[in-house]
């Protein structure tokens, strides 16, 4: 589906939905404004499909449709940490703290390439195991300290502040360490100045979902502004 086709679909949806909520005539938006609302809806839809923050409360791995929706946005970087032995700490992809039991992946976003964490596989020695994601509030239970030596059957991880921290059992999971990291990449956003561009990172039907969401966001913004303006005018007339 081309950029110009998505913008045309936005105009059609805008006119239909404007009438439904009582806005007379199709509101006039600049092409850049249309792109803003479409791209905002695009990012929102990705977040909902990945995190499960939707009406079905289902993440993308819990639904065949959602897997297909995002298939081209799912990427894996293999063998992170390979060659790190020759690099200073500040340049390493994986940083292992030998005084504790934490492997850190710095710069998770990779200069705005990686958007959302999906999964990770930890390689240690000749073995490999899936990493389980946990909440930050539970992380202290897995952190090795002078008075806490946890037994960790399966490595666990937290994601935040642009880094991933993987907690391991250093006695059963010996170095060297490598990680395969699967993630949702940042999508190519719609650019109204390139109308012939094929927007093919997602299926065509998903663009109609995005356009429907984008028009509702745009109209809701107009309606909110109108409500606020009326409230201010009412104050002035009191």
Q: Walk along the chain (238 residues) in steps of 10 and give the mean pLDDT of each run.
A: 96 75 63 96 91 49 68 94 73 82 92 92 94 92 89 94 94 92 96 97 94 89 62 48
What is the domain range of residue 176?
A: 73-185
Co-location of 31 and 94 in the same domain? no
Co-location of 222 and 155 in the same domain? no
- 85, part of any domain: yes
- 191, part of any domain: no
**Spatial separation of the C-alpha atoms in residues 16 and 238, rounded to whole Å:** 36
**Spatial separation of the C-alpha atoms in residues 18 and 15, rounded to whole Å:** 5
Co-location of 57 and 80 in the same domain? no
Co-location of 225 and 131 in the same domain? no
CA distances 134 to 26, 155, 157, 159, Å, are 47, 10, 6, 9
* Contact of 199 with 187, CB cutoff 8 Å: no
Co-location of 178 and 78 in the same domain? yes
Nearest to 62 by CA among 70, 73, 50, 74: 50
Helix (H) or strand (E) holding 219: helix 204-237
Where is the domain boundary, 141, 157, 185? 185
Structure tokens at 125: 């020695």
Number of domains, the chain:
2
Co-location of 232 and 166 in the same domain? no
Co-location of 11 and 36 in the same domain? yes
Co-location of 26 and 66 in the same domain? yes
* Cβ count within 10 A of residue 195: 14
Co-location of 109 and 38 in the same domain? no
Question: Tell me, what's the pLDDT at 146?
Answer: 86
Co-location of 94 and 146 in the same domain? yes
Q: What is the DSSP letter of 113?
A: T
Residue 233 CA from chain centroid, whole number: 41
């Amino acid at each position: 589906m081309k950029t110009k086709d998505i913008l045309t679909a936005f105009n059609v949806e805008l006119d239909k939905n404007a009438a439904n909520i009582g806005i007379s005539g199709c509101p006039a938006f600049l092409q850049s404004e249309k792109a803003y609302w479409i791209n905002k809806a695009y990012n929102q839809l990705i977040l909902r499909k990945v995190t499960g923050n939707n009406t079905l409360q289902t993440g993308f791995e819990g639904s065949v449709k959602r897997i297909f929706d995002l298939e081209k946005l799912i990427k894996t970087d293999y063998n992170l940490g390979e060659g790190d032995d020759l690099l200073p700490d500040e340049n390493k992809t994986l940083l292992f703290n030998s005084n504790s039991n934490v492997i850190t992946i710095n710069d998770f976003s990779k200069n705005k390439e990686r958007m959302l964490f999906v999964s990770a596989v930890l390689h240690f020695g000749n073995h490999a195991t899936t990493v389980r994601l946990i909440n930050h509030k539970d992380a202290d239970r897995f952190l090795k300290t002078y008075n806490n030596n946890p037994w960790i059957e399966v490595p666990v991880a937290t994601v935040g502040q642009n880094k991933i921290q993987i907690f391991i059992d250093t006695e059963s999971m010996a170095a060297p360490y490598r990680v395969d990291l699967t993630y949702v990449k940042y999508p190519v956003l719609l650019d109204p100045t390139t109308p012939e561009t094929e927007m093919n990172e997602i299926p065509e039907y998903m663009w109609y979902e995005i356009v429907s969401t984008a028009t509702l966001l745009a109209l809701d913004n107009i309606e909110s502004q109108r409500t606020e303006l009326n409230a201010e005018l009412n104050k002035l007339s009191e």
